[in-house]
Amino acid sequence: MATAKPGAENNSTVEKISCTLRQFASQYPFENLDVVTQNTMPITETFLFQKFSQYRGGLCYELNPYLYLQLKEEGYNVKLVSGTISNGNHWALDGTHVLILLDLGDSLWLVDAGFGNQLALSPIQIDGMAVSSAAGSFRARRLQTPKGTHVLEMKSEEHWIIKYAFSLKELPWKKLTDIKEQITFHEKSPFNSSPLIAQCFSDQTLSVTDKQMRVRFSKTGRQKLVKFNDPTEFMKEVKTLFSNSIFEKTSEYMKKAEKHG
């Protein structure tokens, strides 16, 4: 793997975007509440601005397009592409992960704010050096796979594991709504059966479902696992940890779930 370092100008750009990614991740969690409540509104710029102005979060097809719009507005050369998640021995739904590619002229970088709580919180240079965050160590490189020409890998003990594959072809904006529909209704979608709210901070990662909360502290590697005995405990944690709009949307889901048994 290459170990080339970006030049001074690119270093400055990477640090600016890293700062943006850290702020973005602290404000907007990865959450599937629109999916489990079957919100079918199309992904438009207006929809994203309205949703994120309420300090909601979203899935990759919302988080990364919203960040893409911000980066594009600031003058960066960015584009959206799609990828396919690898679940060890099999691939997930084809092309349903959305990510950003940043072109700095002499180098290409992966930017991802929508991969659960497994976030690098920094651009990752393709065929460049690995980067680390509270979630772990990441690298991006060219590798031909059945699902694309490039991969994002995450280190597990001493091994690098493919987390998703992608190609460099730009994703048309209209495809975002198609991806949303697949994630919302496809029988093999991993996000349409129960609520998930996850976040990556500078010193810890957090994951909350209706069954449990898991916190991992990066400095010590220690994990805190809290099992919920009933929905009240789950809702109490959501109210404590997240925005009012997320709490309200979670309440909507819980009422529907209770009604349908």
Distance CA 253, CA 22 (A): 29
**Edge-to-edge strand list for the sheet holding 212-217:** 30-31, 196-200, 204-209, 212-217, 223-227
Of the residues 19, 94, 97, 150, only one is catalytic, namely 97
Candidate list 60, 150, 200, 210, residue with the active-site label: 60
User: 19 catalytic, yes or no?
Assistant: no
Separation of CA 177 from chain center: 17
Q: Which of the following is catalytic: 112, 150, 200, 210?
A: 112
164 vs 154: CA distance, rounded Å:
10
User: Is there a catalytic annotation at residue 112?
Assistant: yes
In the residue annotation, 60 being an active-site residue is answered as yes
Listing DSSP states for 36-98 in one string gives: HTT------HHHHHHHHHTT--B-HHHHHHHHHHHHHHTT--EEEEEEEEB-SSSB-STT-EE
Give me the active site residues, please: 60, 97, 112
